[in-house]
Amino acid sequence: DTEVTQTPKHLVMGMTNKKSLKCEQHMGHRAMYWYKQKAKKPPELMFVYSYEKLSINESVPSRFSPECPNSSLLNLHLHALQPEDSALYLCASSLEGWLNEKLFFGSGTQLSVL
């Protein structure tokens, strides 16, 4: 199984809503990532978890709250988002979180904030 599964595939939310994005992998990887991708731009790193501990936070606003309940699961909790937060949110995983590891991506959640 070389899949990273993300749910939901699409999400529309208002600025006062609270929602969560979910990501799951069963490759035995110990590092998981959240990326944000705006249209026609490359993915931008948001957070990295390694062995269930947050190792990198790219100065992301607190309205985005990551959670790693175990090494197979990664959540991104969303609250009081702004329209400019509309983007494709991609989850990825790798073996341990070292830079020389192959990254595996999920198919993403397309988020629209109204």
CB of 16 to other proteins, least distance (A): 27
Q: Is 15 in the site for other proteins (CB under 8 A)?
A: no
d(CA 60, CA 75): 15
**Cβ distance to other proteins smaller for residue 4 or 68:** 4
**Cβ distance to other proteins smaller for residue 19 or 104:** 104
DSSP 11-78: EEE-TT-EEEEEEEE-S---EEEEEEE-TTS--EEEEEEETTEEEEE-S--TTEEEEEEETTEEEEEE
Q: Is 95 in the site for other proteins (CB under 8 A)?
A: no
Q: Is 60 in the site for other proteins (CB under 8 A)?
A: no
Choose, by CB under 8 A, the member of 34, 43, 85, 113 that binds other proteins.
43
Q: Are 111 and 62 in contact (CB under 8 A)?
A: no
Question: Which range in 20-28, 37-45, 64-72, 74-82 contacts other proteins by CB under 8 A?
Answer: 37-45
Block residue for tokens 């035995």? 28
* Cβ atoms within 10 Å of 113's Cβ, excluding its own: 19
What is the binding site for other proteins (CB under 8 A)?
Answer: 37, 40-43, 45, 56, 58, 88, 90, 92, 99-100, 102-108, 110
